């Protein structure tokens, strides 16, 4: 099956038969999973509303805990800054490339789960660029938390610190980094502070 070809059930899939992401960030899979995604988004919207709904907030907390506080937490916020059009947020590799990529993830202890359907970072895209000698494909230790960090270029809209440097961001609208390592909106609102204590991330 070719990349982005439609399967018999009308779903867009990659060459390995796995579903790919659409421009609205949903994984194109079963109707049940799509219904679950909608339900999660409704809970998120209720929990973020002006009059807090404790039941919705508790349910959202359970979903976040179940997903390990996963990338679904940030997509709703970031979608306003995504370039228009259809996007595939996870690079699809050939079977041989996928095997090499997974070996690279293990050997380099990359903070990435290859079996996750939705990811906040296109690590396959980073790896592919690294293999081709792309100068953007460089990792480094973040001086603020002393953890391995990867370039914003491959951050998907599911990432907590999605910025104007992402390939999927509208550079005119998306938040940008300031000289204090803060991700800020044009009005100065700080969305993320890289110097604040936190857990591991890309």
Domain membership of residue 54 (yes or no) is yes
Q: Region 64-85: what's the mean pLDDT?
A: 71
Containing structural domain, residue 181: 95-193
pLDDT at 173: 93
Q: Region 38-43: what's the mean pLDDT?
A: 58
| pLDDT over 90 (residue 156) | yes
Q: Are the beta carbons of 117 and 27 closer than 8 angstroms? A: yes
Nearest to 169 by CA among 77, 76, 71, 84: 84
Domain membership of residue 86 (yes or no) is no
Q: Are residues 102 and 186 both part of a single domain?
A: yes
Nearest to 168 by CA among 38, 22, 6: 22
Q: Region 119-132: what's the mean pLDDT?
A: 95
Domain membership of residue 90 (yes or no) is no
Q: Are residues 185 and 116 both part of a single domain?
A: yes
Share of the chain above pLDDT 70, in %: 61
Q: Are residues 108 and 185 both part of a single domain?
A: yes
Domain membership of residue 106 (yes or no) is yes
Q: Are residues 116 and 176 both part of a single domain?
A: yes
Q: Which two tokens stand for residue 186?
A: 């044009």
Of the pLDDT bands very low, low, confident and very high (cuts 50, 70, 90), residue 141 is confident
pLDDT at 130: 95
| pLDDT over 90 (residue 103) | yes
Share of the chain above pLDDT 90, in %: 45
Picking from 40, 55, 81, the residue at the C-terminal end of a domain is: 81
Domain membership of residue 67 (yes or no) is yes
Q: Are residues 122 and 185 both part of a single domain?
A: yes
pLDDT at 53: 41
Q: How many domains does the chain have?
A: 2
Domain membership of residue 198 (yes or no) is no
Number of other residues whose CB lies within 10 A of the CB of residue 25: 21
Give the Cα separation of 64 and 154 in Å (integer).
23
Q: Region 21-45: what's the mean pLDDT?
A: 51
């Amino acid at each position: 099956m070719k990349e982005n070809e439609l399967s018999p059930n009308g779903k867009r899939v990659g060459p390995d038969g796995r579903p790919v992401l659409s421009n609205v960030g949903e994984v194109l899979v079963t109707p049940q999973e799509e219904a679950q995604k909608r339900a999660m988004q409704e809970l998120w919207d209720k929990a973020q509303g002006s009059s807090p709904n404790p039941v919705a907030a508790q349910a959202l907390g359970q979903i976040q805990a179940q997903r390990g506080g996963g990338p679904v937490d940030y997509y709703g916020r970031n979608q306003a800054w995504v370039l228009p059009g259809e996007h595939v947020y996870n690079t699809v590799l050939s079977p041989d490339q996928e095997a090499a990529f997974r070996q690279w993830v293990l050997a380099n202890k990359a903070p990435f789960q290859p079996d996750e359907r939705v990811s906040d970072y296109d690590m396959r895209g980073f790896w592919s660029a690294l293999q081709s000698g792309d100068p953007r494909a460089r990792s480094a230790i973040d001086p603020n938390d002393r953890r391995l960090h990867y370039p914003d270029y491959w951050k998907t809209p599911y990432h907590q610190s999605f910025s104007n440097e992402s390939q999927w961001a509208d550079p005119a609208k998306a938040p940008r980094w300031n000289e204090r390592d803060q991700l800020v909106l044009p009005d100065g609102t700080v969305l993320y502070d890289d110097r604040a204590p936190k857990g591991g991330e890309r």
